[in-house]
Structure 1
């Protein structure tokens, strides 16, 4: 419902004046009621509502609990709300030098000096975090319960950030666990490479995998890692990950249309 100010301007036939319209948009975005934009549009745009249904394997990720889940979502909500209400550069959604943390999430990220349950803006000192794509909320909801999913992460970036969704997979494409009737072996990246040898898989994965594997330094609950341990039962040495993050390099962010 428009407030008295908007009704008065409408009666005066001034809302069509660009300067007046812009001023009123800024005013409304700074109003506490603009939180509805975060609760509804942003939650839908980022698929943030799906986070409540994600159940990571606590055997593999014993630090994950409901408190951490809530903190993950809160970070993303406060981050987007801050960009909107402070009228900040929209490119900060992709690349920022700050985020919002409390002690629980800061511990999860390995960031020192954050104490207490209250969230506050925290300056970031390295490139491991910065922008929505590196938020634990996004990284968790685009993972499987036991491992990361470069396919889900790549699909999320293409759809939610770049607006160029990949085509649906062709019918009868085998699951990752096997290809051409053979069991896949090795690290996740090695298994994906074997999977892509199937011509029916290669076309989609050529678009999905570069985005998804650019985020492999983050585990299935968004924690940083430097190595990927092979599947249970294998004795190989850990596979060292490449530091390809972030997906959209910082030096190129300003060129994003």
Structure 2
């Protein structure tokens, strides 16, 4: 059953209106008609099976039939902080990390980021990132759309560490020296409900100065196994490991 997020809440009769891109997807792509059912998400833990009761030229109306209580969200809240990478790599990370349970993403301009943030085009790009997150959340049957922020500086990132219960930094230098225990210990120290920040550098990794700043701010440096991962692979490795630790091993 197709899933759609909406900012609306059902009225007193349990009805709500769907328009815009979601309307077009339902009517023109999925070719649904009155009587068909969709899943509507109006907020965290507000997931409903709804029936299409009328279709107009630019909108349709659905009526809630029952609330769905099963959740697909990770037991911990994972934010990814990602050094700005080249090309469309960040779009790939947003899509796949959403599928794997990320709750938010904070891009940041690292010393070795080749891409420089264009403020003039920034708003439009951030809108595209959030649209990618929404579509991935619908596809993977999430009940939360990850929030994708506009890029910040490394210094601003370090200043936000107090918002989290635990912070890890994926550091390729640790992998080169054979460090294998920090990430496992980091996971073992977490409890359900924890707010976690995972920090990943751009293609060139972190400079020594950046790594020192992040460690001084409270991050735990972790190797991700014996292989050196690409910048777009590292967050997916981290999320998969967290899912295995909290969902498959319990």
TM-score, with length taken from structure 2: 0.29
Give the structure-1-normalised TM-score.
Answer: 0.28
Structure with greater proportional strand content = 2
Q: Select the structure with the greater relative contact order (CA < 8 A; seq sep ≥ 6).
A: 2
Larger helix fraction of residues: 1
Q: Specify the structure having the higher radius of gyration (Cα).
A: 1
